[in-house]
Amino acid sequence: DGGITQSPKYLFRKEGQNVTLSCEQNLNHDAMYWYRQDPGQGLRLIYYSQIVNDFQKGDIAEGYSVSREKKESFPLTVTSAQKNPTAFYLCASSLRSVGEWFNQPQHFGDGTRLSIL
Amino acid sequence: KNEVEQSPQNLTAQEGEFITINCSYSVGISALHWLQQHPGGGIVSLFMLSSGKKKHGRLIATINIQEKHSSLHITASHPRDSAVYICAVRFWGAQKLVFGQGTRLTINP
């Protein structure tokens, strides 16, 4: 079955440490996204990528970095510059329709819950 | 300001009841999404619509463009429908989705 796999499910970060969240999809989708979810708030966009080797900042990119070296993979690194990293992180993907790509249904992974030690 | 408001924030009902969850937004949109978030955190896309009405099983989504309002209905609700339902919109000219805070639905047997 096609889908999105996020790992790990739970992750703990020490002070000053960078951690990387994995996101892999086998849906042959061009577009991929990273969202952050905090209690009582709607999902917020961190980064998104429409195509391999290209990505754009979302609303809350500070303290995060991404890469898109392969179509299937869009890892997110939470750097030590992100002072409040405790949150639930969701990766999603969708088909890409030029000019209207946010109008495609997004397929989500099961999320990674990141906490500070 | 581009905003999305959902109501109610929490909803508890008995099995079999007809459920309505509402979503209002501030300005014109090109698409509206309804999503379901399971207790474990995973999210499933239920509907994407820009006009009219869509139906899938016991779920019905409607949108009124003039009133800037959408509703998600669940007929013959069941405890397995218990989840957080999220509305998200793409405002005209925007390059991202704006998400509502979600409605937590609990269906008791």
**What pLDDT is stored for residue A104 in this prediction?**
76
Count of CB pairs separated by less than 8 Å, A with B: 58
Q: Is the pLDDT of residue A98 over 70?
A: no
Q: Is the pLDDT of residue B95 over 80?
A: no
Tokens in use for B62?
A: 């409607």
**What pLDDT is stored for residue A39 in this prediction?**
87
Which residues from chain B sit within 8 angstroms of residue A42, using beta carbons? 4, 86, 88, 98-102
Least-confidence region, from A35-49, B31-45, B87-101: B87-101
Cβ-defined contact of B97 to A41 (cutoff 8 Å): no
pLDDT tens readout for residues A47-84? 999 889 999 999 999 999 999 999 999 999 999 888 89
In angstroms, the Cα distances linking A15 to A8, A10, A61 are 19, 17, 19
What is the gyration radius of the CA atoms in chain A, in angstroms?
Answer: 13
Q: How many CB atoms lie within 10 A of CB B41?
A: 19
Residue that wins the pLDDT comparison between B85 and B50: B85
- A45 shares contact with chain B (CB less than 8 Å): yes
HSE of A68, CA atoms in CB hemisphere, 13 A: 19
Preferred mutation among B4, B35, B97 to probe A, highest tally of A CBs within 10 A: B97
Residue holding tokens 């639905």? B105
Q: Cα(A1)–Cα(A27) distance, rounded to whole angstroms?
A: 9
Q: Is the pLDDT of residue A85 over 70?
A: yes
Selected residues 71-110 of chain A with any CB under 8 Å from a CB in chain B: 88, 90, 92, 100, 102-110
Longest dimension (CA), chain A: 42
**What pLDDT is stored for residue B2 in this prediction?**
67
Q: Cα(B86)–Cα(B97) distance, rounded to whole angstroms?
A: 12
**What pLDDT is stored for residue A114 in this prediction?**
95
Q: Cα(A99)–Cα(A92) distance, rounded to whole angstroms?
A: 19
Average pLDDT (B57-73) is 97
**What pLDDT is stored for residue A15 in this prediction?**
83
